[in-house]
Chain A
Amino acid sequence: MSSVNTHPDTHPQAADLPWWQPGEDSTLQCVQVREETHDVKTFVFRAEPPRRFHYQPGQFITLELDINGESVNRCYTLSSSPTRPDRVSITVKRIPGGVVSGWLHDTLRPGMQLNVLGPSGEFSYVRHASTPYLFLSAGSGITPLMSMSRALTDLASGADIVFVHSARSPRDIIFRKELAGLASSHATFSQAIVCENRQGEPEWPGFTGRLDAARLLHMVPDLMARQVFCCGPAPYMASVRQMLQDCGFDMQHYHEESFNFAELAAAAPDAAVDEISASCEGGFNVHFAKMGDDLSVAPGQTVLAAALAKGMRLPASCTRGVCGTCKTKLLEGKVDMQHEGGIRQREVDQGFFLPCCSKPLSDLVVDR
């Protein structure tokens, strides 16, 4: 842990300070870096010149970084709470090979300044202020839900919150002690953690395996009465949606936040694809019916990107859903397709999709 010195303005006269404005470019100064887990760090910032931070818990900011002479924009949800308006923080998982997360982990130090844009986003309990809540997160998707939990508990709102977090292993649990602390000090806050495996902590006492509908109902028997907020990798959120639908949950009370991969990909295609594919926790299988090949597609990765990464040569050109060269029949499964006019709705209705701009929402069988 490192931090800048205790300068007089670490206790500014708050009433005299202007507010941080959404959508306005501003400069943040890093004042602290905390290690949360072996590959997750929290970066704490103050405004420069000093301002008070005002935002909705769950919103994100956009960092404008200059990495090796390349300008890169990247969105991160704030893990901090607006109830502590003098500082904001983001909590970042290092992705192997990831340009931005690697730069933040290796380079960003207290005293350094960053340009940011923000805050923005609509993923916040503020917009759905009826309790009780169920917060569901996986991996670094915990950050917006942590922000909401901190805010609601800071305000002594008395909000009824069940927080269910999924991690790969016990050593990957972000904010583990803080979650336990919130649960022990707030009667209406409870938490449960599901680890895929016990790696690094054989005595792990919590749930192991993957979240499923039965386990969710077991942990949250009054699930149907709650507003659900969910954040995590796309396959995780897809499985949560499926679980809730299977339970007959009213999806009007379901709210989710993606990692804004579309914006990432637009800002820095290669780096983003690297980070996304490297962030694979699970992912889906794609079977190529004619070629006989099988492929694992990482969360956030397109079918085409995964195929190319494996060295398969599929017909494709634009890689962004414009030209339609890769148009293929989807024999089984569901995808999230974000095309730009390269396919017609009636073709989609006939079962076609564009692998270049489609991320699996389930295992797939494609007609190639």
Chain B
Amino acid sequence: MQESAIRFQPVQKLRELVARRQPGHSLEAPFYNSQEVFDADLKYIFQRHWVYVAVAAEIPEPGDYVTVEIGKEPILILRDDDMQIKAFHNVCRHRGSRLCADEKGSVGNLVCPYHQWTYNLAGKLIFADHMPEGFDLSHHSLKPVHLKNLEGLLFVCLADEPPADIDVMLEQMGPYIAPHQIENTKVAAQIDIIEAGNWKLTMENNRECYHCTGNHPELTISLYAYSYGFAPKAELAAGLANYENIVKDSHERWEACGLPSAEIEKLSDVSGFRTMRMPLDRKGQSQTMDTGSACKKLLGDIKDADAGGLSFWTQPNSWHHFMADHIVTFTVLPLTPDTTLVRTKWLVHKDAVEGVDYDVANLTRVWNATNGQDRHLVEESQVGVNSTAYRPGPYSPYTEELVEKFTNWYIGRLGAGLEQG
């Protein structure tokens, strides 16, 4: 392991690594397997950018909460009595105990299990027994965390001053996501998998479909080959033209029903994102084995099951597929240099009845299979990049531009962090 064998002094060596990154190529091994880079990733990427963590539909009622850990930062996200969603550091102001250890739950007030210090849903300490006279409750409120709610997708930022361009994403993405009405959905299924690979391998794998034909028989049933990149060849010209017509016609039809569809590509922004509503093949309704709807109750105001799939990607850690009948949403959270949590949630209309309107096995079949296949790909990549033989390789200019945009964004943001300190 040549590169990673360098015992670099963190910041200086990190700067060197960043500076010598070769555009158009995968990253050097230390980016995928060194503790120093991983620590820098948490500090400069995950603590300074907007990180996607949950959906509002998981906490439908006042007092509902979910917890998440971003590196070593435990976060609590809850809905207060005014139906507003708030985020706090999940850390008691007494002796630091984690307040809520469960992944989700429901509370009246927030009570530390250790010594029962009690906070209201605004994070204000309202009760602390055994403390002396003159102890001022108001000086011990929970520490808030910045939170943005994009039509039900919840993003948090641990920075003191979060990137302001999140507002561009909120403004531009709002109309795309709003018709699916996340607030009127429920989580029909959630599966967490831990991939034995660096989080960037997970993200890079997500940003291309070069690998799809060879690896994802279930997913590619509903995907047009032309939608995920291909190398231009003469014999494909007719098919491509046909696909472009389908996109054009579909976009016109969807836009007329109030479903914004055009591509927006801002992957190089600090709060980078991309979206596009894409036609699905065959029945064109959903990412299912027969491409038909997985749930009889359509989402929000959508009348037509044939609404394709709105895909939404964010830097640094999420992707989402919004269909007429269900939503699949993915969160990626780094655990160690070579383990990563991939959390998948399937959302359906909150009034849909399991076994009547939808079947969980049918709903989850495509992405369960796809996640398993992707996990294998990521883990095999991790084995490979750990080898002394690994050298950064070139990306396909046709099918891996989005991988390049991800790694470019990452190198740029890490470099900026290292400069700012």
A residues near B (Cβ < 8 Å) are 317-318, 322-325, 339, 341-344, 346-347
Partner of A344, one of B106, B116, B118, B129: B106
- Please determine whether B129 and A324 come into contact, CB atoms closer than 8 angstroms: no
- Please determine whether B108 and A318 come into contact, CB atoms closer than 8 angstroms: no
Say whether B107 faces chain A, with CB atoms less than 8 Å apart. yes
Docked Cα-Cα span, A325 to B117, in Å, equals 10
Question: Which residue of B is nearest A315, CB measured?
Answer: B116
- Please determine whether B116 and A318 come into contact, CB atoms closer than 8 angstroms: yes
Partner of A322, one of B61, B63, B127: B127
B110-133: contact bitstring with A at CB < 8 Å (1 yes, 0 no)? 010000101010000011010000
B residues near A (Cβ < 8 Å) are 61-63, 106-109, 111, 116, 118, 120, 126-127, 129
Partner of B116, one of A323, A341, A346: A323
B120: A residues at CB distance < 8 A: 341
Residue with the greatest number of chain A CB neighbours at <10 A, chosen from B61, B107, B126, B127: B127
Docked Cα-Cα span, A288 to B109, in Å, equals 26
B63: A residues at CB distance < 8 A: 344
A346: B residues at CB distance < 8 A: 61, 106
B392 CB to closest chain A CB, in angstroms? 54
- Please determine whether A317 and B108 come into contact, CB atoms closer than 8 angstroms: no
Closest 10 CB pairs of A and B: A317-B116, A323-B118, A318-B127, A342-B108, A323-B111, A322-B127, A343-B108, A344-B63, A323-B116, A341-B108
B65 CB to closest chain A CB, in angstroms? 12
Question: Which residue of B is nearest A327, CB measured?
Answer: B108
Docked Cα-Cα span, A259 to B126, in Å, equals 28
Question: Which residue of A is nearest B118, CB measured?
Answer: A323
> Can you add 5 more A-B contacts, CB < 8 Å, to A322-B118, A343-B108?
A317-B116, A317-B118, A323-B109, A323-B111, A347-B106
B116: A residues at CB distance < 8 A: 317-318, 323, 325
Q: List 5 A-B contacts (CB under 8 A).
A: A317-B127, A318-B127, A323-B127, A342-B118, A343-B108
Prevailing SS type, chain B contact patch? loop
A322-B126 contact, Cβ under 8 Å, with A341-B108, A341-B120: yes
A81 CB to closest chain B CB, in angstroms? 44
Docked Cα-Cα span, A341 to B63, in Å, equals 10
Partner of B111, one of A325, A339, A347: A325
B106: A residues at CB distance < 8 A: 344, 346-347
B124 CB to closest chain A CB, in angstroms? 11
A339: B residues at CB distance < 8 A: 108
A317-B129 contact, Cβ under 8 Å, with A322-B118, A324-B108, A344-B63: yes
B126: A residues at CB distance < 8 A: 322
- Please determine whether A318 and B61 come into contact, CB atoms closer than 8 angstroms: no
Docked Cα-Cα span, A212 to B247, in Å, equals 79
Question: Which residue of B is nearest A321, CB measured?
Answer: B108
- Please determine whether B109 and A324 come into contact, CB atoms closer than 8 angstroms: yes
A325: B residues at CB distance < 8 A: 111, 116
B200 CB to closest chain A CB, in angstroms? 41
A342-B109 contact, Cβ under 8 Å, with A317-B116, A323-B118: yes
Docked Cα-Cα span, A358 to B62, in Å, equals 23
Residue with the greatest number of chain A CB neighbours at <10 A, chosen from B106, B107, B109, B126: B109
- Please determine whether B108 and A347 come into contact, CB atoms closer than 8 angstroms: yes
B107: A residues at CB distance < 8 A: 324, 344
Residue with the greatest number of chain B CB neighbours at <10 A, chosen from A324, A339, A343: A324
Question: Which residue of A is nearest B113, CB measured?
Answer: A325
A172 CB to closest chain B CB, in angstroms? 40
- Please determine whether A344 and B127 come into contact, CB atoms closer than 8 angstroms: no
- Please determine whether B111 and A324 come into contact, CB atoms closer than 8 angstroms: yes
A322: B residues at CB distance < 8 A: 109, 118, 126-127
Residue with the greatest number of chain B CB neighbours at <10 A, chosen from A317, A343, A346, A347: A317
Question: Which residue of B is nearest A354, CB measured?
Answer: B108
B127: A residues at CB distance < 8 A: 317-318, 322-323
Residue with the greatest number of chain A CB neighbours at <10 A, chosen from B61, B62, B118, B126: B118
A347 CB to closest chain B CB, in angstroms? 7
Question: Which residue of A is nearest B106, CB measured?
Answer: A344
B32 CB to closest chain A CB, in angstroms? 45
A319 CB to closest chain B CB, in angstroms? 9
